[in-house]
Structure formats: C-alpha cells, structure tokens
Amino acid sequence: MFYDEAKIYVKAGDGGDGAIAFRREKYVPYGGPSGGDGGRGGDVVLVVDHHLNTLFAFSRQQEYIAPDGEDGRNKDQYGAKGAELVIPVPPGTLVWDAESGALLADLKTPGERFVVARGGRGGRGNIHFASPSNKAPRIAENGEPGEARWLRLELKLLADVGLVGKPNAGKSTLLAATTAARPAIADYPFTTLQPNLGVYAFSPSETLVIADLPGLIEGASQGKGLGLEFLRHIERTRVLIHLLDGSAPDPLGDFAAINQEMATFGHGLMEKPQLVVINKLDLPEARARFPELKAALEAAGYEVMGMSGATGEGVRAVMGRAYQLVAETPVPEVQAEPAVIRAAPEEEGFTVEREPDGAWRVRGGKIERAVRRTPLGYDDALFRLHRYLEHQGVLAALRKAGVKEGELVRIGDYELEWREEE
C-alpha cells in the first residue's frame, strides 16, 4: 500500500512554572527573592527528509507530544527549555489544519522546516515581582500550555515526469527498462496499484525522476478506481509522457478518454507539456498502425514518438526528449497559498453566565490566561489575581449577575469560591 495521506495529533510542550524562592546564604547580605523562570516548552517541527517517499511512519504513530519546559529553581536558576520534537516528512508533503481545512505549508525542499505547534512560554519567577513596597514577594507565574492541533498530511509526488495512460499501456515496463525501479509487471490490467518512482540517468549530473502512476479509467475524476489518488500525484509532475498501447482496439479513443478525465479534474493538468508515445512497436499490428496514429495526433497539436518498452527500441530518444521538456518547464506550484500559523488573537472581553449546577462561568481569553498563570496556593499570588480581576471588571460583573457568598466561580479549568470582602 502507498501511504499518501495521514492524520496526526501534535502537542507542543507546556512552559515550566516560575519558582518562588528566597536566598538564605550565610554571607549574602539582604537575601531576597531568588526564584527563576520556567523554561519554554518544546516546539513540534516538521522537517523534509529526502530519504522518505511515503507517509508510512504515520500509520504506526498518530500522536506526537514535545517535552515540557522545566520549572524554575532557587538561586535565580531558570528552567531548561523543552527539546524540540522533529518529525521527518517526505518531499511533496502538504500540511493542512484538520479542523479548518486551511493549507498551512507546502514542504518540498530537503531540510525545509515548519513549526506546526509552538511551545508555551515559561512562567516568571518571583525575582521579577520584587518592589520597594514588597521585597519578599510570594508571587510567580505558571507556564502556558503548548499549542495543540490535529493535522492532515497529504503527499504529492515530486517527479519530473509522470507516466500516464490506460491500464496495461506499458508504464511499468518503461520504468523498469529505464531505471532501477522494479514495479510489478504482468500482462493484465491494473498491475500498478501504487505510484512507483525511478531515476533515469543520462550522466551523474543529468537525471530524470520518473513516476509510474496507476492507470486511469473513465470516471476517475469522480473518484472511480484509483482516480483521485492518481490525479493528485500527476498535479506535481512537470511533464507528462502519455503512453498509448499501439495494439489496443482503439488507441485514439483511449487517448481522448484519459485527457477527458484530466481535464475534468482540472488543477492545470491539461496545461502540462504532454509527449505522446505509441508503445509496443515490437508487435506487428502496433508498428503497422503507428504512421496513422502519429499523423492523427500530430494534427491535433501533440508531439508523437514511438518505442517498444519490451525491446528498448526508441526508449533513449523518448527519455532525451522528456529531459529537454523538463528543462524548459518551471516547477508547478499548488494553487492554494500557504497560511502562517499564528496564535489566535486573545479575546479582549469576557462573559458571565450561570451553569446548570448553579455555579458561575466566566469566559474570556485574557481572563482565563491570567487565572491559568497564577499559582493559587500562595496568598500573594491570589491577592494579585484579585486586583487584576477587579481592574478588568470581572468582580463587578459577577456581583451584578447575582453571585452569592460561597458559590463557585469557574474560570477556565479552575474553580474559585466567592467570598465577600469584610
């Protein structure tokens, strides 16, 4: 099976918590706060690896979680940053956001990197909260959670030449005759069930990457057979060699049917240079019909050549002409523009609502973030949070909504008990 699609979950590391600590060393005058910051969580990064040509690894593992940042420590020691989690992908990988359907990246060049989830920031330690009025602050911040998302990966082969044609037109035979690839070959339709790649070398510096793709049938553009999987891969090739079986009952009809499927699919397939090759000239009936077929196709505006994949006749000439066409043709681009992953804009406002169990729920990006970053086990930190919520108008909104002594107030994942100031 050729693995050309995968769905994975990625989670960047959480930031480490800031520390609350104080210096108490014998010969250090004054002492004071010494809690360091937490380290940033590790990013999740996709990196193009030219040794890969399928998404097979993602059939075994779907979840990728980067390490968290370390917590801050005493003596002004900052926590270590979480290690980056690198995920290798093959060239030609498209990265989509599984929820929104947005194209995030088009990864083609070996070594190319793309950060798909950023690690959370580390929390500040209490060394940052000292002031003339509070020289021993018991205040720090918790680290922020890392980004998490579901991704859909799609592989589009990056080949110079794509071999297209009806099933059993001789594509696999041509690939085997010209490269080191060894696709399955037999004298019956639908031998090729997955794309095969091979390299044809004229010299060490002059090579062609050739993709033998599954044969098309009528209705492929509507998903019949292997149609859509096949057409998706053709989209990335620069030049098409359209193989016709010269011994078939109706080679011109086969040619028209395949071009119709590519035209229906769209995506610029019919704009690609198309070299038409009449195959199987080793068979008497194919050789006899070759002049007639060549004349008809050239009259329609196509360049036509003949060959025999079985005996090798005309193969080098076909490859040489394909090489010239590739040199004259720019690398195709996907039509969608890659989007850049950015953190979602933080909500400025907030809402207060009553939940079915009688508790109150406060929603709002800034408010939830402030509570999440507060270590609620320290009175100084709670007082600071109280002042922040009061300044933002959250406490006034809860009173206006009718909150009463002892009722629960939920903000994010936290539950707080309402107490009126005496």
What is the torsional sign of CA 208, 214, 220, 223?
negative
pTM listed for this prediction: 0.61
For 93, the 3-state DSSP assignment is: strand
DSSP-assigned beta bridge partners for residue 305: 277
Q: Which CATH architecture has domain 161-328?
A: 3-Layer(aba) Sandwich (3.40)
User: For residue 152, what are its two tokens?
Assistant: 């859909």
Q: Are strands 206-212 and 239-245 parallel, antiparallel or unpaired?
A: unpaired
For 325, the 3-state DSSP assignment is: helix
pLDDT by 10s per residue, the chain, length 422: 344 678 999 999 999 999 998 887 776 666 688 889 999 999 999 999 887 767 878 878 999 999 999 999 988 899 999 999 999 998 888 899 998 888 898 888 889 999 999 999 999 998 898 888 888 888 899 999 999 999 999 887 667 888 888 877 666 667 666 654 444 433 434 444 455 666 677 766 677 777 776 654 444 334 433 444 555 666 667 888 898 988 888 989 989 988 887 788 776 778 889 999 999 999 999 999 999 999 999 999 999 999 988 888 898 898 889 889 988 887 655 544 444 454 444 556 889 999 998 899 999 888 888 888 888 888 888 888 888 999 999 999 988 988 888 889 999 888 888 887 65
CATH superfamily of the 351-417 domain? GTP-binding protein OBG, C-terminal domain (3.30.300.350)
User: For residue 92, what are its two tokens?
Assistant: 């030609």
Q: What is the Cα–Cα distance from 74 to 70, expressed in whole angstroms?
A: 13
Backbone angles phi, psi at 239, to 5 degrees: -135, 145
Q: Give the right CATH number for 5-155 from 2.70.210.12, 3.40.50.970, 3.40.50.720, 3.40.140.10.
A: 2.70.210.12
Contact at 8 Å (CB) between 162 and 143? no
Amino acid at 382: L
Q: What is the Cα–Cα distance from 421 to 361, expressed in whole angstroms?
A: 20
Please state the domain extents for the chain.
5-155, 161-328, 351-417
